[in-house]
Amino acid sequence: MILNFMARILDFVCDLYLPMKILRPSILFNKSIFTLLIFFSLVSCKKEEIITKEITYQLSGSFGKNVTVKYTPTGGTLANVVENVELPWQKIVIPNPTNASVGLIVAGEKGTPNAIVTAKIFVDGVEERSINATTNANGDFVLELDYLFN
């Protein structure tokens, strides 16, 4: 159907710009080659594969209170937020395939002073990034961790 449509367009262009009958045989030959080129171009086009990755966010530590977690959205444009998260915590998601990176932000207040909280990002089961945060004298902390896809 596409080829038929393209042939009609080529006929229209030929009738419009090349009214001389002498050039018609070469135009028919060129039209056939043009049609074949378009056909093979369309057939040989690869469809781009959508690559999805399984992301695992993991938190652990001895904070002593619940924390708030904000991580890369799995759909739309707003970040996913989970409040009152008890450690240890883990979340497995499939992010939007158009994302160039993933990440999370974790915050806690009035927990155990000088406690250590660890965040990790796994991509398809392989640990790619990790970070430790130590709470201050008031027991507060904020940590950020991200991973850029290759």
pLDDT at residue number 44: 58
pLDDT at residue number 56: 96
Q: Give the integer Cα–Cα distance in Å for 148 and 72.
A: 12
Please count the helices (runs of H) and the strands (runs of E) in the chain. Answer: 2, 8
Q: Is the pTM of this model over 0.95?
A: no
pLDDT at residue number 107: 97
pLDDT at residue number 111: 95
CA 7 remoteness from chain centre: 39
What is the identity of the amino acid at 58? Answer: Q
Q: Give the integer Cα–Cα distance in Å for 40 and 1.
A: 14
> 117: how many CB neighbours lie within 10 A of its CB?
24
10-residue stretch averages of pLDDT, the chain, 150 residues long: 58 54 51 60 59 91 94 77 94 88 95 96 96 97 93
pLDDT at residue number 99: 83
DSSP conformation letters of 61-72: E---S-EEEEE-
pLDDT at residue number 10: 56
Backbone torsions φ then ψ of 41, nearest 5 degrees: -65, -45
**Pairs from 81-90 (Cβ < 8 Å, separation ≥ 24):** 85/59, 87/59, 87/60, 87/61, 87/62, 87/63, 87/117, 88/58, 88/59, 88/60, 88/61, 89/57, 89/58, 89/59, 89/60, 90/56, 90/57, 90/58, 90/59
Yes or no: say if 119 and 145 are a contact pair by the CB < 8 Å rule: yes
